[in-house]
Amino acid sequence: MTATLLTAGPSPATVTVISATVGAVVSLLVAIGTQVVLSVRDSNARRYSRRRAALTDAQDAALAMRGRLGEYGMLSRANLGRSTPELAAAERHYVDARALLEVTLSRVDDQRVVAATLAWREAAEVSFISSAEVSAGTEQDRWQRLNTAIGSALQSRDGVAR
């Protein structure tokens, strides 16, 4: 009688338990895999969001600095060495805008954007403020390169200029 039980195969209850166990394990593996994929996707989305915000903040800070440079340079040339309250206020606004640009650049991961911004800032400070000759065309060219680099980084999948 023992030989008959061994050759008869698993009982329907055993098959049901095994099938349920295999189904549960497969479901658990699918759930874990899905969670990992979603976690990686969310992490990438957060990283891209931070990069995008840093790029747009840097662009806004550069635009603000450009405006402050224009005001300060105009007043500086108009007063030619005389100190006035308007000139002092314009200088403070320019210094604040420069500091804001530096802070926002510290958050930018893309070194091409940082380099383009620094190159523009150098030309803009000379063009707007200094008596040294840097043509408005040079400042405009570097301004365009800065915006092109930021635009390229914003359009990329990972927030880095190509």
pLDDT digits (tens, 9 = 90+) for 71-92: 999 998 888 878 899 999 999 9
Of the two residues 125 and 1, the one the predictor is more confident about is 125
**How crowded is the C-beta side of 89, counted as CA atoms within 13 Å?**
3
Q: What are the CB-based long-range contacts (under 8 Å, 24+) for 126-129?
A: 128/69, 128/70, 128/72, 128/73, 129/69, 129/72, 129/73, 129/76
**Quick one: average pLDDT of 113-125?**
95
Q: Tell me how far apart the alpha carbons of residues 149 and 62 are, in angstroms, rounded to a whole number.
A: 13
Q: What is the pTM of this model?
A: 0.72
For the cut 60, the answer to whether the pLDDT of residue 2 exceeds it is: no
Q: What's the rounded mean pLDDT across residues 29-56?
A: 88
What is the reported pLDDT for 46?
A: 87
What is the C-alpha separation between 63 and 117, in angstroms, rounded? 11
Which residues lie closer than 8 Å to 28 by C-beta, 6 or more apart?
none
pLDDT in tens, 7-34: 667 888 888 989 889 888 889 899 998 8
Q: Could you tell me the residue ranges of all domains in the chain?
A: 51-155
Mean pLDDT (the chain) is: 88
Distance CA 83, CA 88 (A): 7
The arithmetic mean of pLDDT across residues 131-151, rounded, is 86
